[in-house]
Amino acid sequence: TCSAGDSQTVVIGLAADSGCGKSTFMRRLTSVFGGAAEPPKGGNPDSNTLISDMTTVICLDDYHSLDRTGRKEKGVTALDPRANDFDLMYEQVKAIKSGVAVDKPIYNHVTGLLDPPELIKPPKILVIEGLHPMFDERVRDLLDFSIYLDISNEVKFAWKIQRDMAERGHSLESIKASIEARKPDFDAYIDPQKKYADAVIEVLPTQLIPDDNEGKVLRVRLIMKEGVKHFSPVYLFDEGSTISWIPCGRKLTCSYPGIKFHYGPDTYFGNEVSILEMDGQFDRLDELIYVESHLSNISTKFYGEVTQQMLKHADFPGSNNGTGLFQTIVGLKIRDLYEQITSSKTAAPLEATKA
Ligand code: ADP
Ligand code: G6P
């Protein structure tokens, strides 16, 4: 009797530049929903999609309209809207949202070509992650919640060096050059999407160490829009107050440079927001429970769930700092949002009979 309401997919958008922690975030998110996401079985081994019981994560690179050669010929980057097919993206996300399976293209990151499509069935939660989930107004309007990972240039550089130099053998100069080459299009097409995001995770160099340029200790800000349906911002101690908190002492071990939290109301691109900030890193992850117990509206199902999730994935990058903490909390908020949306749908027919 409530099948119509059940079939609707909740759609989440996650925007960030590549190499900025989207896949790590997705692993934390799918873990909150209980179950690791894996590539679809029996399909193209180069598929970028990840499927678990609850979630399907689509990489928006699959909507490249120009392949690598096409981009070279036309002189456009992958960040340029002209290299992406927003009409198809819109059609397919809309179809999935309304319960219809689609044949989604696959962009092969190895060959730089478009592979034959794969069938995507409507999941309970669809995450579209990539460079442009909030670029096209039609696609944006389909999103039930949107997140932007805002990694400052200093930190992006530090992460790229770590990965591309250590793991892929690139030179420092070539890493610098590739970041510089992307920057104009990044500034023009990717960065402006953050004003539409319901939550932004901003990652900056620490302020606890004067003139730090190592990018190891991070200052992370969770910017949460007020008035978003099914989403109530997290707060520290007292909702709406402005609070600075140094939890180091008898209950929390902190080595240099320590940990500092900040919380308060603010504005972001003209919107009212709440901002929760953590600068520094945890020495002992199990002591995170002390911090967790002072946060409210974190949408946990039991006491200590944030700490449990963080301990479970202690090996993921960012687990000892605000990136891991805030990604985990946003994951819990998305679970809450999903449960609210689905329960309001099943409740709707009842209300209708009342009227
Ligand atoms: P994306 O999916 O956006 O390309 P990944 O999640 O694969 O990004 O992360 C890319 C690299 O960036 C990782 O291999 C790691 O080196 C670094 N990284 C990502 N998130 C963090 C973090 N929170 N702290 C430190 N390094 C990180
Ligand atoms: C970005 C995009 C990828 C693209 C890469 C390099 O990271 O997300 O889809 O493959 O840029 O682009 P290129 O044009 O050099 O293949």
Q: How far apart are the first and last CA of the chain?
A: 18
Q: What is the per-residue pLDDT across 176-223, written as a single tens digit (0 to 9) for each?
A: 888 888 999 999 999 999 999 999 999 999 999 988 877 789 999 999
Which residues touch 174 (CB under 8 Å, ≥6 apart)? none
Atom of ligand 2 nearest to the CA of 77: 14
Measuring from each residue's beta carbon to the nearest atom of ligand 2, which residues come in under 6 Å?
18, 61, 68, 71, 78, 109, 112, 131
Q: Distance, CA 149 to ligand 1 centroid (Å)?
A: 11
Domain extents in the chain: 7-149, 198-339
Instruction: Pick from 58, 66, 68 the residue to mutate for probing ligand 2's pocket: most ligand atoms within 8 Å of its CB.
Output: 68
* Percent of all residues in the chain with a pLDDT value above 70, rounded to a whole number: 95
CA distance 223 to 246: 20
Q: Which residues pair with 149 in a beta bridge?
A: 201
Atom of ligand 1 nearest to the CA of 19: 4
Which residues touch 12 (CB under 8 Å, ≥6 apart)? 125, 126, 127, 128, 143, 144, 145, 146, 147, 334
Atom of ligand 1 nearest to the CA of 20: 3
Q: What angle do CA 7, 10, 11 make, to 5 degrees?
A: 130
Q: Which two tokens stand for residue 13?
A: 């958008």
Smallest CA-to-CA distance from 201 within 323, 296, 336 is with 323
Segments of the chain scoring below 50 in pLDDT:
1-5, 351-355
pLDDT of residue 42: 82
pLDDT of residue 7: 65
Ligand closest to Cα of 61 equals: 2
Q: Which residues pair with 223 in a beta bridge?
A: 200, 275
Nearest CA to ligand 1 atom 26: 317
CA distance 302 to 182: 43
pLDDT of residue 47: 93
Q: Are 309 and 31 in contact (CB under 8 A)?
A: yes
pLDDT of residue 4: 42
pLDDT of residue 85: 98
Q: Distance, CA 47 to ligand 1 centroid (Å)?
A: 20
Nearest CA to ligand 2 atom 15: 68
pLDDT of residue 318: 94
Q: What is the per-residue pLDDT across 162-176, written as a single tens digit (0 to 9) for each?
A: 777 777 778 888 888
pLDDT of residue 345: 73
Atom of ligand 2 nearest to the CA of 72: 14
Ligand closest to Cα of 16 equals: 1
Count, in order, helices (H) and strands (E) of the chain: 11, 14
Measuring from each residue's beta carbon to the nearest atom of ligand 1, which residues come in under 6 Å?
16, 18-24, 159, 162-163, 317-318, 323
- Identify the helix (H) or strand (E) that includes residue 87: helix 86-97
Beta strand 199-205 with 10-15 is: unpaired
Nearest CA to ligand 1 atom 18: 21
- 3-class SS letters over 159-180: HHHHHHHHCCCCCHHHHHHHHH
pLDDT of residue 3: 41
CA distances, 324 to each of 109, 141, 201, 215 (Å):
27, 28, 10, 16
> Which CATH number does the domain 7-149 belong to among 3.40.50.300, 3.50.50.60, 1.10.443.10, 3.60.150.10?
3.40.50.300
pLDDT of residue 6: 52
Q: Are 221 and 277 in contact (CB under 8 A)?
A: yes
Nearest CA to ligand 1 atom 19: 21
Nearest CA to ligand 2 atom 7: 18
